[in-house]
Amino acid sequence: MTSPNAASEEADDTLTIALAQLEIEAGNVEANVDRALEAVEQAAARGVDLVALPELFNVGYFAFDLYTRHAEPIAGETFSRLQNAATDHGIAVLAGTIVEDLAATDTVETPADEGLANTAVLFDADGTRRLVYRKHHLFGYESAESELLVPGERLETATIGGVTVGVTTCYDLRFPELYRRLVDAGAELILVPSAWPYPRIEHWQTLSQARAIENQCYVATINGAGEFEDATLLGRSTVYDPWGISLASSGDGPTLVTATVEPDTVADVRAEFPALRDRRL
């Protein structure tokens, strides 16, 4: 006999996510944040449980000379507006990332007490701050990020809709040990806000897929769209399942990519093909 609550119980075992591949204009913070808020509204209208934004969606990753001018504390305007949007629309939001002014943030969960960080915040559907992630690996190849910012140290997970979620950022994809730590902490879904440019399409796709395969978890990469003076973002935001299969993906233009995450699938894959259990440490 089927339980009268079977449908709701089944719904509780899945998490519908949307990757907001936003058009990002260098330094046009007001327009960029407005696009992010529109994406949250659109995702909520589609019945999505969680929407994720790209790396430095408000100022633009390659606008290095604007980092200091547009840096904000965690309680600043950008995160506050997205926190309110999460509450207003009843949807979890990965507001990720902005340039954070560490000295202006009341509670700094990093050894540095000043400087700037590349910071994401995960809000639940009630607007509660559930997770803060500051990018661990700062990019130095043809980039000023490593000169301008300080790296994060903490690595957290949070449960959203019954799914254990972790966060990394862009260049972190090249450092698999970070993902192992998240999986050991119980992560079933890892969100990766990014600003990945042309021409490294193969790196973007291969590294993301590998992180999903080797950790037998969902990996969702959220890239931006748009051109900067010296770079063009390649888009291709994608959700990979624990087998490394692409469930949903995009081209290089602005769009909303949606997919469903099932924690039971993570457990089933790990039981059927127990590679994680076979690790020799």
30 is catalytic: no
Residue ranges in the chain modelled with pLDDT below 70 = 1-12, 107-113
Q: Quick one: tokens of 84?
A: 């309110």
Predicted local confidence at residue 9, as pLDDT: 37
Report yes or no on whether pTM surpasses 0.85. yes
Predicted local confidence at residue 109, as pLDDT: 52
List 135, 188, 217, 262, catalytic entry: 135
- Count the alpha carbons within 13 Å of 57 in the hemisphere toward its beta carbon: 34
Element housing 52 (H / E): strand 50-52
217 is catalytic: no
Predicted local confidence at residue 113, as pLDDT: 67
Helices 77-89/29-45 angle, 10° precision: 20
Predicted local confidence at residue 3, as pLDDT: 32
d(CA 153, CA 137): 10
Paired sense of beta strands 15-21 and 129-134, if any: unpaired
**For the segment 105-140, what is each residue's pLDDT rounded down to a tens digit?**
875 455 456 899 999 999 999 999 999 999 999 998
d(CA 257, CA 17): 8
> What is the CA angle 246-232-204, rounded to 5?
30
Torsion of CA 162, 256, 52, 33, to 10 degrees: -140
Is residue 53 within 8 A of residue 95, CB to CB? The reply is yes
**For the segment 227-272, what is each residue's pLDDT rounded down to a tens digit?**
998 899 999 999 999 999 999 999 999 999 999 999 999 999 999 9
Helix/strand/coil percent split, the chain, to 5: 30, 25, 40
Is residue 278 within 8 A of residue 272, CB to CB? The reply is no
The residue among 78, 70, 77 whose CA lies nearest residue 95 is: 78
d(CA 13, CA 20): 23
25 is catalytic: no
Predicted local confidence at residue 12, as pLDDT: 56
Rama region for 161: left / alpha / beta (φ>0; ψ in -120 to 50; rest):
left
Domains of the chain: 16-272 (3.60.110.10)
Bridge partners for 118 per DSSP: 99
Is residue 19 within 8 A of residue 222, CB to CB? The reply is yes
Predicted local confidence at residue 6, as pLDDT: 35
Predicted local confidence at residue 138, as pLDDT: 97
Q: Could you tell me where the DSSP H helices lie in the chain? A: 6-12, 29-45, 67-70, 77-89, 145-148, 176-184, 201-215, 263-272
Predicted local confidence at residue 50, as pLDDT: 98
Predicted local confidence at residue 142, as pLDDT: 79
List 170, 188, 217, 262, catalytic entry: 170
List 55, 145, 188, 262, catalytic entry: 55
Is residue 75 within 8 A of residue 101, CB to CB? The reply is no
